[in-house]
Structure 1
Amino acid sequence: MQEAKKLKFLFAINPISGGQDKSTWESGIRAFFEKQPHSAELFLLDGKNDDTELPKHIESYRPDRLVAVGGDGTIKFVAEHALNAKIPLGIIPAGSANGMAKELNIPATLEGSLEVLVNGLEKPIDLICVNGTEHCLHLSDIGMNAQLVKYFDEGKMRGKIGYARGVLRVLMRRRLLKLQINTGDEVVHRAAFMVVLANARMYGTGAVINPDGDVADGKFEVVVIRKLSLLSILRMFIHFRPFDPKYIEIFPATSVHIVTKRKAYFQIDGEYRGRIRELTAEIWPGHLRVILPEKAKI
């Protein structure tokens, strides 16, 4: 009987994602692999030289799988390097929201997600290429939520208290955006509070923005939030309820060009990207290979 291949895992760990100390995660990963035929190396991200240092570790260690340990921003960053190195991405959810991990049915526990890394299946998922330079795995948006991401990043408080403070600031400063949206099939003009490029169904909070989203269907959805009452905002951002379908429009697309009348806040996968007036995006079907649970619905 042929011996199963021994795999090499390189873990890229964000030590401060979710505002939590990851030292117990590091020891947990090492303890898990002591009982495995596979090997693991740990690399701590520092937010300074990661773009140059992580590729060096990939080249020297030559892993079979590159694993992101952190939240959605960490996953996005590590996924870019997995793409460049042409190796599958593994995910250990260790952020404050973990939207992409939830979308892919990856267990929230360290032990459960490690089991998926070793015993799961390699499956392709889509990416949204934004402005020809960046990739969105999960959700990007213009407007209110991107503004919330900015305020949360700037705040000194983490967790629910910091999130609630950010929500209050957004509520006081919310403004309608005037937009032109060109999907190739149609051009529409809208006044909206938010526009989402959705490769998935829901935010990490559990709030459903795109009920029929699928990360492996060869398209994405442009979700336009046209109206938001104070009650609906509170339901969305505090109680994490789905958006009221009466107030949204959803345009399936394989590409889009969006122009705003004034600069708008913009974020990609939980990472604030500044204020923009224009963006283009296109789907890259099946471009990223991810290690997923055997029963993942993809």
Structure 2
Amino acid sequence: MKNNIIFVVNPISGDLDKTDLIDAVNEFSITNNFHLTVYETTGKQDIKALQLLYEEHKPDRIVVAGGDGTIKMVAEAMEQHDVIIGVLPAGSANGLSVDLNLPNTIEENLKIAFLNHYIEMDMICINGKKSIHLSDIGLNADLVKNYEESNLRGFWGYALQAYTTLVDYNEPFVATITTNKETSIHPARMIVIANSQKYGTGVTINPNGVVNDGKFELVILKSLDLLLLGKIITGNMPIDSDDIVIISTDKATITTDYPVNFQIDGEYCGAQTSLEIHILHKQMKLAVP
């Protein structure tokens, strides 16, 4: 009996041409006797289309070529199904691949995605939306919003937006955070809701993060000047600083004193004054090295 695999490609993620990747996947499948069904995402009704494909082929695995957004879409589509998701990093935001320490070559990633063992990974639910990686409210979400609205892409696009965002930013917001045990109040520039450790750029924001421990971390950056930003970007995240508070929990509520920009896994989600957050323990199976 053939092993059925659905291969999900986001043709436009990361502005990269996927032809070579698709060829490599086809070749790998033929060599290893996989029965491959290719699905290209369109951004319309993808979840429904995937669920229909799943019913038709009952695959053992779904291999995804795309960034965090595409992986999350597949995880949501497969919420009710017991299927392993393999990742071939090919998006503009590949934070999850960075966190899972996926290698850089297509050959190695193919073996992991199709053949390797897996972990059961947590997801975070925020106001009913799923996050697999890192979401935040405040400065970085401003940056994501500005980046989505600007024409300049890539590293320099980010660098320019980061500078403009820092120069233009508002007063700190005041966040009231309630976890299982207690309520605390923090002035903040940014609060990261983290399931894992690193942003897609490789920057570690949550040194204690473990993707399957049944907890998430709130990383509260009370001030964020260029010096602290520089430290975080260069990988010298100061954990014992008075400017940074880290809370580890399985559920939390955050309310802010004015609407603050919010993003989930690199996607801007509007300005919010209230976030309801809880962990979805062992929500998806993910192939890892």
TM-score bucket of the superposed structures, by smaller chain: over 0.9
Distance in 1, Cα, partners of 2:105 & 2:79: 26
Point out 4+ residue stretches in structure 1 off by more than 6 angstroms: none
Unmatched tracts of structure 2, length 5 or more: none
Counterpart among 156, 169, 172 of residue 167 in structure 2: 172
Change beyond 3 A, Cα 1:240–1:62: farther
Retained in 2: the 8 A contact 1:254–1:283? yes
The alpha-carbon deviation at position 270 of structure 1 amounts to: 1.3
Q: TM-score, normalised by structure 2?
A: 0.93
Task: Please say if 1:87 is aligned against 2:72.
Answer: no
The C-alpha deviation readout for 1:171-209, integer Å capped at 9, x for no partner, is 122231111000121111111011111111111111111
Q: In structure 2, what is the equivalent of residue 141 of structure 1?
A: 136
The alpha-carbon deviation at position 139 of structure 1 amounts to: 0.8
SS at match of 2:209: coil
Counterpart among 220, 233, 255 of residue 259 in structure 1: 255
- Following superposition of structure 1 onto structure 2, how do residues 90-239 of structure 1 map, counting pairs within 5 Å? 90-131=86-127, 133-175=128-170, 176-236=172-232, 239=233
Task: Please say if 1:17 is aligned against 2:17.
Answer: no
Change beyond 3 A, Cα 1:47–1:125: same
Counterpart among 31, 34, 49 of residue 38 in structure 1: 34
Pairwise CA RMSD: 1.6
SS at match of 2:78: helix
Change beyond 3 A, Cα 1:218–1:159: same
The alpha-carbon deviation at position 281 of structure 1 amounts to: 0.8
The alpha-carbon deviation at position 235 of structure 1 amounts to: 4.5
Distance in 1, Cα, partners of 2:66 & 2:161: 21
The alpha-carbon deviation at position 255 of structure 1 amounts to: 0.4
SS at match of 2:103: coil
Structure 2 letter corresponding to 1:241: G
Task: Please say if 1:74 is aligned against 2:70.
Answer: yes
Structure 1 letter corresponding to 2:167: M
Q: In structure 1, what is the equivalent of residue 279 of structure 2?
A: 283
Structure 2 letter corresponding to 1:110: I
Q: How many pairs are equivalent? A: 286
The alpha-carbon deviation at position 19 of structure 1 amounts to: 1.7
Retained in 1: the 8 A contact 2:13–2:67? yes
The C-alpha deviation readout for 1:99-153, integer Å capped at 9, x for no partner, is 101211222322211100222113211111222x222111111011111111222
Unmatched tracts of structure 1, length 5 or more: 294-298
Retained in 2: the 8 A contact 1:70–1:92? yes
Structure 1 letter corresponding to 2:238: D
Percent of counterpart pairs with the same letter?
A: 37
Retained in 1: the 8 A contact 2:251–2:279? yes
Change beyond 3 A, Cα 1:121–1:160: same
The alpha-carbon deviation at position 54 of structure 1 amounts to: 2.3
Change beyond 3 A, Cα 1:26–1:67: same
Retained in 2: the 8 A contact 1:151–1:166? yes
